[in-house]
Amino acid sequence: MLDFSEFKEKAGEDRELAERYVLAQDRIKEIAEGEEILPEPYRSYFKEEAQILIRSAYEDMKEEHYGHSYANPVYAVSLFGLDMGRLFSFLAYELFQVICFEAEGRAEDVTILYEVFLEIYGVFACEAEDGKIPEPAVIKGILYSFVSDYLDLTVRRRIREQVDPSYDFAKKIIMEADLRDLSYLDRFGEYVTDDTRKLAEFLNSLPEEEILRMAETFTEGFRLGFINTGKDLSKKKTVNIRFCLGFERLVRAEIEGFRQLGLDVTIFRKACHAATRDGLNRVGYYGELVNEQMDYDHREDIALFLDEAYAEHKLEVMREAYEEVKQKASEFAGPAVMERFGMKDFLPVNHEEAIALTDQQRKLFVSLKSREAAIVGEYIRWEERSFTIISYPVPAIGETFEDIFRETVRLNTLPYKRYQEMQQEIIRVLERGDRVEVKGGKGNCTDLTVELLKRTDPAKETVFENCVADVNIPVGEVFTSPVLKGTHGLLHVSSVYLEGLVFKDLRITFEDGFIKEYSCANFESEEENRRYIEENILHHHQTIPMGEFAIGTNTTAYCMAKKYDIFGKLPILIAEKTGPHFAVGDTCYSRAEDIRVYNPDGREIISRDNEYTEKYRRTDPNKAYFECHTDITLPYEELKEISSIDEKGERHPIILDGRFVVPGAEELNKPLDMNGFSM
């Protein structure tokens, strides 16, 4: 807890807020000391949660305590029944967010959390006088109001901190702290482990010139993203850096690099409030994940308050908030994202006690996400922004961390000009056909046909983008938006990690480009497996299309993964470059289909739409987009053939038995030969 003098400093001239805080703090201390007003088990719940608010420490969230944590819906439901248990579990999870708010000095956010806790306690205390317990509907109403009534605060701040550099809590730490003294990490208010400190210590050991080269790769990739798509970076003033703690020395160099491009930097924390959290997505900066199962259990907490009134209110607040910062929003260039890989495996457990969306809410959720994206697109125009994304390993990957890190740096700086030339040869072979066939081998059952867009002027048009190291680092893929009609068959992957979750024996069947059937082998029951896919691949849609077909060409990345046996640890950013991949959801050109894009050979990439987006995006954009794009990579070792097929049925192979066979691209096999690997 902040003491009163600290709080007054954070609250500034808002005396009413300071008084509210002091009253709430004093009352919480009384409850923590063990009042005898409530019967058990409610007395223990409020006492222990009050103590957690006072301690404000991540220790209470750790896995070893989760079995008897009120944030665990299984435990809470066992004590209080399904309805009340879910509500208490939600509240307990929400109260943990006070740690971040206190670190950042967000006085009003802290006070609001205190007050909702005390309001619910007060209702229980009143009912206890008559020997009763309040109905769950009453408590749900309080929590609904807590989320909905404060949207003006929570959503407004979330939008502002994205585009306004004056929200500089984290940036000040990065730029002003002595990064050699690792105690600076504790100032962020995030969970910091030995792994985080080892990462920061390792970066401190690198020569300054190496740090600067890494930073330049990142900032130059962002700049090239504007140049290669014909966008004007000079109109922009801000860029948002997203990263995991431990990379601060590199981030400091990147901030300076962006300043040389004329861009100030925004850095904001991952979403903390229930109103701004988005399932398992962590957008912003964050520390180590304290308890992934806890986050997984609360991924659909929005179901507690999602209804039509809430959705409309949130959209109204979003529009008002963007209107207030519309100039800054128009000057926002986009995100620059640093991912990490190598963390310990996480196999989630589905708990029926966890809050879950109803079928009706799933439809509303999909609609809300689409309408939110549309509002963002009005103020941060898709056709005027770009992004870049890069990834590095963390010490948790194992004893060879430092070697893998250096290999990754080398991977991120491969000579893109040579790849550009070889990928152009691959595109020439692909364009001999009007469809592509992909077949698995060695036990992989993949058998897919991907239909390609027809060109009317082959000399000026192409359907595959020659993708080098600009926005997606490292180098190495050619991709297209498939024609949906005629795209069909089975995609099968023995094991793949998607957004931090593992999928075993994943099988997806396509018919005319849309997902028709799907299964995996993560759980014992077919129902659980289907729900797992529906939540984390279909993102609550009944079906979604194949938005991208690509061939990764980075055999150097493949060899690194093979050498260190880290295929299961690779982020999709690198994994997608090590084999053919298929993205389900929106195309790579989502909401920017009208922007002309050209390959280095001067030909225009015309496959920016598919039949579905072309039909709806001008008349009903909320229906045209699915707001998801999930890459699923087929490992080369499970691949038998990729060939383009012409109208006569003749086959033009690109890969046979895991080796590139395109004349002019044979060099892609050299890393395999040099390392003694066969795909």
Res 470 pLDDT > 80: no
Contacts of 207 (CB under 8 A, 6+ apart): none
Distance CA 113, CA 50 (A): 11
pLDDT category at 352 given cuts 50, 70, 90 is: very high
Do 421 and 553 belong to one domain? yes
Instruction: Output the CA torsion 442→443→445→447 (10° steps).
Output: 10
Taking alpha carbons only, the member of 582, 584, 590 closest to residue 613 is 590
Do 244 and 145 belong to one domain? no
Do 271 and 329 belong to one domain? yes
Distance CA 3, CA 15 (A): 15
Task: State the average pLDDT for the chain.
Answer: 93
pLDDT category at 69 given cuts 50, 70, 90 is: very high
Identity of the amino acid at 404: I
3-state secondary structure of 593: coil
% the chain with pLDDT above 70 = 97
- Domain assignment of residue 411, yes or no: no
Q: Rg of the Cα trace of the chain? A: 26
Do 235 and 274 belong to one domain? yes
Do 17 and 102 belong to one domain? yes
**Domain around 588:** 417-674
Q: What is the mean pLDDT of residues 145-165?
A: 97
Do 190 and 141 belong to one domain? no
pLDDT category at 467 given cuts 50, 70, 90 is: confident
Structure tokens belonging to residue 553: 């060409």
Provide the domain count of the chain: 3
Taking alpha carbons only, the member of 398, 411, 284 closest to residue 341 is 398
Do 201 and 102 belong to one domain? no
pLDDT category at 10 given cuts 50, 70, 90 is: low
Taking alpha carbons only, the member of 42, 57, 30 closest to residue 87 is 42
Q: What is the mean pLDDT of residues 240-260?
A: 98
- Of the three residues 126, 149, 172, the one that is the final residue of a domain is 149
Q: What is the mean pLDDT of residues 446-454?
A: 97
State residue 595's pLDDT score: 84
- Domain assignment of residue 486, yes or no: yes
Do 143 and 182 belong to one domain? no
Distance CA 344, CA 397 (A): 7
| Whole-structure pTM value | 0.90
Res 575 pLDDT > 60: yes
Do 380 and 255 belong to one domain? yes
- Domain assignment of residue 372, yes or no: yes
From its phi and psi, is residue 81 left (phi > 0), alpha (psi between -120 and 50) or beta? left
Res 156 pLDDT > 90: yes
If you ran DSSP here, which 8-state letter would residue 545 be given?
Answer: B
Do 133 and 175 belong to one domain? no
State residue 311's pLDDT score: 98
- Domain assignment of residue 405, yes or no: no
